[in-house]
Structure 1
Amino acid sequence: QAAPSPHGGPGTLERRNLGAAELPRSPRLVCVEYPGLVRDVGAVLRTLGGEQGVSRIYADPAKRLELYFRPKDPYCHPVCANRFPTSTMLLRVRRRTKKKQQLDTEEQIQPEVQFEMEILGIVTTVYKFQGMSDFQYLAMHSSPDGKQISMYDKVLMLKPEKEEFFNKELPLYIPPPIFSRLDTPVDYFYRPDIQHREGYNNPQVSGENLIGLSRARRPHNAIFVNFDDEEIPTKPLDAAVQNWKKVCTNPVDKKVEEELRKLFEVRPVWSRNAVKANISVHPDKLKLLLPYLAYYMVSATSVSKGSITWLFLILYHF
């Protein structure tokens, strides 16, 4: 097949073996669209968790492939790839150039180019990195002169250390547990409050015909108080007592109730996780037992620029 030369002069371009080709049934290949320039295949596999890590992710269709640009850094946040089915082919194309003899020095004869194609396999699965990279938080601290000093040799225990390693004075380093819930950008449209004319009143609508924006509340008859409230509850609600009496039908439930009473005798304030760690009770029954023996104290405390809400469980004073 003749074609004009890309340099403007005459030339020939031959393509061979580009006709019908047989599709091999094996091997079935997996493609990873790596978001970077691949120069070392071994280094690329290490950022993906190695061959074992990629195989483990491929065995579970519900998991996402994670890419760590700094695989040795435990504080590195991964970039996740989604799994998609595909039906593509992996081709090997060879380009062969054959130079022709030049008879006349004035004319430039383009070399003869030949392409050979070979189908290596069928790609059935592809992993695509469609999200953005998350924020990265490095273990660093600022020195008095303003320089950033690494703390990895002080916070990472790479070998068995002596007691002096744990008693060293270090700058405060508390990395955030999470930065972003989503790795894809989301458009959020801010809507101003509706300005009504003077004298406008909201229409009276029956609550039975309204569709709520959140799930319906699941009341367990618990009592919530603030830390600065002057009055505290002295007994549970009647509905909480009735609910617990209905489910407390066997000696195991009675034993759990006594164990919880003993915990509150040791100290009056417990968190929910601490209660679950000290007694063995089903979560559904714990939701009914806590309003029967304790009330929730919610106290908001301002810390730096944010607000932290603490949830306490305190025994009723009967």
Structure 2
Amino acid sequence: MTGKASCHDNSAISAGASSDPKNSHKHNLQKELVCIEYPGQVRNPDRMMASLGGALELSTAITTEKRRLELRFRPDSIYSKPAFGDRHQTTGLVLKLKIRRKRSQPNEVQVRSIEIAGRVNFQYRFESMCDFQLLPAMRSTTTGVVECMYDSFVPSGVITNPAECGTDPVPYFLPPISFSRFDTSQLNIFKAKDVVADLTAPGDKERARRTKHGIYQGFTLLEPLPQEPNPLAPQTMKAKNVPQATIDLVRNKFQERPVWTKTALKCALQLSEDDIRYVLPSVALYFVNGPWRGTWVRFGYDPRQFFDARYYQLLDFRIRTTGAMHDKVKVKRSQNPIKPCMRFANPSSNIRDSEKLSISRSIAPKTDYIFTADTLPQMRIIFYQYCDVQVPQIQQMLEKIPTPLTGAVCNEKTGWLPARFDEQCRNILTDIVLANFRKKREGGGGTDTNTSASEFEETEGDETERTFDEEEDESDDSDGEKILPFD
């Protein structure tokens, strides 16, 4: 344990260690050691250990993951606020050197031998600021001199007469646990409000647009659809080094089926969000509202002119709020996503954990976007395309819809489907989900055995119409599917 990290000369090490291969058995690479960069010059190791809480506290901090190492400059005072040392991953070796100095020339050092004492996997660094310290010192009312009142607050030594302990009136002196919320420096540049208003241009106050260059189309019956992508979209895709194989996969899928949701495309191709987010604007446009809201439509295909496009319309399916079925299906986001954490989270481990989490969550199972007779919804609100609802009754209803007359146009809200068609489909899906929950309960998956179909009937106001703001979608390409379980 040193107060300052030292750097070793590689030439000196190689000269002393590699020249004697017989000493290779002395190297101990299996012994794991911990490096603590102590913020001070260590002259008394015992006092240094006391400032770190002793051997027991030091061992507890090292063996407990995501716990910070406390350093108290006044370990004998209960009012001392500690400085925290953060754990950092590292790779290093602890070397044991034997050197020879000449009395006549003390600056010249000759390395006699070098041994590897162990390896270091992580180290503690005290890079954060210490919290404000409130000393138990008060001005005496009689003498006017500032005196330390610590002995009055905290008894010391052996208490011989417990009856007299605590009888003298003294101030409570109850400082807060912490004064500052953060122990890292925050860059705050304070300026006068009128000066900032003069320096800031009107355009500087707007939020910067995301550079995806997609075409976000509002649904109309008369306006023609764009036939070509934004010229900047292919350039962005090329700048992001998207693999050509990924581009070909997405284009082939749009040749097989002209309308997709991003979620369905990710599941069908087993690709992550980063793989297709820059490809979609180059091959399709995005509908922000209307019957095909939240879907990507291939350039050159107009769903308003083809009656078969009814299969690609979006069905908003939601678990009914009444009954036990709603409680058994979790929401996508946590009810309390922000939780206070007094422990330090290692930045390097957080990066690795977030990478693993993003890899595990970015690619959903291949059939998650399809609803079948055995489906149990993962979330309470899911969007399905009618072609992905593999329920014979609903598919027969779609086929029985009469073909419109020549020159007929689709409806602005329901598309090529009749009125209240989506409500009938929701009722059918609700009955299927209810039956699947009953099967699961009979097999030991639940405890509620008295649930009837009437408990899951939709109540007025349970479902709210979800609107899609065109301006918001232009700046945030979310597909209108933020609440899907496999985004």
In the superposition, the TM-score normalised over structure 1's length comes to 0.48
Relative to total residues, which structure has the larger strand share, 1 or 2? 1
TM (norm. structure 2) is 0.33
